[in-house]
Amino acid sequence: MTNTEIYDKLKAAFGEKIGEWHEQSGGEYMKRMSSYADITDTSYIRDVCLYLRDEAELEFDSLLLLSSVDNGDKTLSVTYHLESKSKKHFIALKVTVPIDNAIVPSITDVWSHANWQEREAWDMMGIKFLNHPDMRRILLDEDWVGHPLRKDYKHPEFYRGMKVPY
Amino acid sequence: MTEVLERKMQTMPVPVKVVPAEQIDPKRIRTEEMVLNIGPQHPSTHGVLRLEAVLDGELVIDVVPFLGYLHRCFEKHSEAMTYPQVIPYVDRMDYLAPMQGEHGYALAVERMMGIEVPEKVEFIRVLFGELQRIASHLVAVGTFGLDTGAFTPFLYCFRDREDILEMFEKTCGARLLYNYIWVGGLSHDLHPDVISMCRTFVKKSRATHKEINELLTFNKIFVERTANIGILKPDVAINGGASGPMLRGSGVKWDLRRDDPYSIYDRFEFDIPVGTGMLGTVGDCFDRHWVRMCEWEQSLNIIEQILEKYPQSDKTDVQKAVPKRIKPGAGEIYSRVETARGELGYYLVSKDGINPWRCKVRSPAFVNLSLLPIISRGYLMADLIIILGSVDIVLGEVDR
């Protein structure tokens, strides 16, 4: 299936919860791998993922990447790149949350790969994932202040009494 | 001999009085789990990684990896760099296979901008990519041998890796971190000696491959220590996002060079080796090792085909397609390549500037390492080290 067909199928199943289709300009690869669908209601992301995984026709068996983006306008986004290794098709989804209330449902129980990626998104971007089994920082230490990949991040002068270089 | 034994018996302490089992009160026996810390600086952890193993006697109940000791926040740095300036940072992620990392990044930006690369450049990229794959697998196989207690294959592997690094050095001057593959081209043309060096290397490497198989792969001690250890089931592997030899070791025939071809990989003939449970169970440590050994051979096959088809009379400038100003339009891309460790993906978001708005890397070693707790539960402590070795992590890429 092409990703626009999958989008239509999602639209039929979830209606208004699925937002616009953002088609990327450029070559065939850009259209196939990088176009994404907005999910307007953030709380539905897990249901959408479950549907994509369990529907026999779609069978999305793997999550390729879960990435977080600071859009620079007081919102954060989480992008899900999904792939079906058996059916060889692909789709990307995106949810957007406000920066002061960045909470997204976890999809760790859908694809276990999401576990560490969500921890990284929390660590680096400060997005909390609801019902995540182990919501700790992963790359930085537990007592680090702030989330470095946010655009308004200022690095601390001192860390545990040591001067932070640069 | 008997005299020595008798003398020894006399000097030994009096044996403890053995209490019959039925007299032991089970309520008075107390066992407890022990937490053992391994690393962060430890010869068996392949870099700066800390593992907290929860043990019951010698049995591993759980493993918790702690990362970040090599964290440099490459993703934050790249937001302050222009697109070509990111490439040296990319080198420093997977420092055992930087050619492939560069290729992936260059490919992502090229796809965003719609740049067509000359055929000759594609040939050199694939040639160096495959040489790099062999170099990386040599380190993986060699250090895996170290983990199981075989020291000699490690030296053989590094001897052969040297030949590959020499070819890279002749061409671009660097041996470890190349900054060779640029967006739209290469930094230097292929050195004229490399083709003949490659020919001799292929012959030599085939001999080493055979030798390593005899020395290591089918060594009884090695097989006993790796077969049936650290079994990763295919459905768990796919769900957990495993890729590369880790996924193929579990019997899943998935290789991006074949399933989502990039560059000119669709022109070459090669097999995709998968784990078959030859000497144990599908998806055990031996299968992962075996897949690497087979991929080594397949890479040699690809190199031989490149040497046949390489357009030597083509005098195209390798920097012909390098754009003066690299500034992709607004948009985003997920682009991926198959490196020695698995699927390396770049998620780039551009907001019509000269530096990436966001650059997120799907690093295969990070994802494969996240499966370590799943595959090491229930095995012995000594097996944990072998399982970790079979995952083949590079901490530079895990922590970024």
Question: What does the pLDDT look like over A57-74, one tens digit per residue?
Answer: 888 888 888 999 988 888
Band of residue B14 on the pLDDT scale cut at 50, 70, 90: low
List the end-to-end C-alpha distance of chain A, in Å, as a whole number: 50
Does the pLDDT value for residue B170 go beyond 80?
Answer: yes
Torsion angle (degrees, nearest 10) of CA B360, A84, B393, B106: -40
Question: Which value does ipTM take for this structure?
Answer: 0.89
Alpha-helical segments (H) within A80-166: 114-125
CA distance B143 to B289: 11
CA distance B375 to B397: 21
pLDDT for the residue numbered A158: 84
Does the pLDDT value for residue A132 go beyond 70?
Answer: yes
- What average pLDDT does range B218-232 have in this prediction? 88
- What average pLDDT does range B220-235 have in this prediction? 88
The residue among B143 and B2 whose pLDDT is bigger is B143
- High-pLDDT (> 90) share of chain A, %: 5
Q: Name the DSSP class of B267.
A: G
Using an 8 Å CB-CB cutoff, list chain A residues near B347.
Answer: 65, 67, 79, 81
Does the pLDDT value for residue B369 go beyond 80?
Answer: yes
Are residues B245 and B291 in contact, defined by beta-carbon separation less than 8 angstroms?
A: yes
Provide the sign of the torsion angle of the four alpha carbons B109, B112, B114, B119, taken in this order.
Answer: positive
What pLDDT, in 10s, does the model give residues B80-110?
A: 888 888 899 998 888 888 999 999 999 888 8
Closest chain B C-alpha to A25 CA, distance in angstroms: 8
Enter the tokens of residue B107: 């490919």
Does the pLDDT value for residue B46 go beyond 80?
Answer: no
Average pLDDT, chain B: 86
Band of residue B138 on the pLDDT scale cut at 50, 70, 90: very high
Are residues B47 and B39 in contact, defined by beta-carbon separation less than 8 angstroms?
A: no
Band of residue B5 on the pLDDT scale cut at 50, 70, 90: low
Does the pLDDT value for residue B17 go beyond 80?
Answer: no
**Chain B residue with minimal CA distance to A61?**
B239
Phi-psi region of A160 (alpha: psi -120 to 50; beta: other; left: phi over 0): left
Does the pLDDT value for residue B8 go beyond 70?
Answer: no
Closest chain B C-alpha to A112 CA, distance in angstroms: 5
Enter the tokens of residue A65: 């990447």
Band of residue B20 on the pLDDT scale cut at 50, 70, 90: confident
pLDDT for the residue numbered B176: 87
Band of residue B134 on the pLDDT scale cut at 50, 70, 90: very high
pLDDT for the residue numbered B202: 92
Does the pLDDT value for residue A108 go beyond 70?
Answer: yes
What pLDDT, in 10s, does the model give residues A146-156?
A: 888 888 888 88
CA distance B206 to B39: 36
Considering only CB atoms, B67 lies closest to which of A64, A68, A138, namely: A138
A60 interfacial to chain B (CB closer than 8 Å) = no
Task: Please indicate whether, in this complex, the C-beta atoms of A112 and B254 are within 8 angstroms of each other.
Answer: no
Band of residue B4 on the pLDDT scale cut at 50, 70, 90: low
Are residues B393 and B46 in contact, defined by beta-carbon separation less than 8 angstroms?
A: yes
- Three-state SS at B266: helix
Using an 8 Å CB-CB cutoff, list chain A residues near B112.
Answer: 26, 30
- Three-state SS at B46: coil
pLDDT for the residue numbered B73: 85
Enter the tokens of residue B149: 């207690």
pLDDT for the residue numbered B207: 92
